[in-house]
Amino acid sequence: MKIEVKNFKGLEETKGQLCAFLAESRVSEEHAFNCKLVVSELVGNVLRHSDGTAFVEWRLNGAFVELVICSSTRYIPPKVSRLSDVYAESGRGLYLVDAVCEERIEVEGGVLVRVRIKD
Q: Looking at 1-119, which runs of residues are DSSP E strands? A: 3-5, 54-61, 64-71, 103-107, 110-116
Exposure string of 94-116, with b = 16+ CB inside 10 Å and e = fewer, is bebbbebbeebeeeeebbbbbbe
Mutual orientation of helices 29-49 and 8-24 as an angle, nearest 10°?
Answer: 160
Chain mean position to CA 30: 15
Residue 103: per-residue pLDDT: 93
Residue 114, CA distances (Å) to 21, 50, 68, 75, 92 in order: 16, 23, 9, 19, 19
Please name the fold of domain 3-116: Heat Shock Protein 90 (3.30.565)
Residue 95: per-residue pLDDT: 87
Residue 1: per-residue pLDDT: 78
Residue 108: per-residue pLDDT: 87
Residue 79: per-residue pLDDT: 66
Residue 97: per-residue pLDDT: 92
The shares of helix, strand and coil residues in the chain, as percent rounded to the nearest 5, are: 40, 25, 35
Residue 82: per-residue pLDDT: 67
**Residue-level pLDDT, tens digit, the chain, 119 residues:** 799 999 999 999 999 999 999 999 999 999 999 999 999 999 998 998 887 899 999 999 999 999 999 998 876 666 666 666 666 666 788 889 999 999 999 898 889 999 999 86
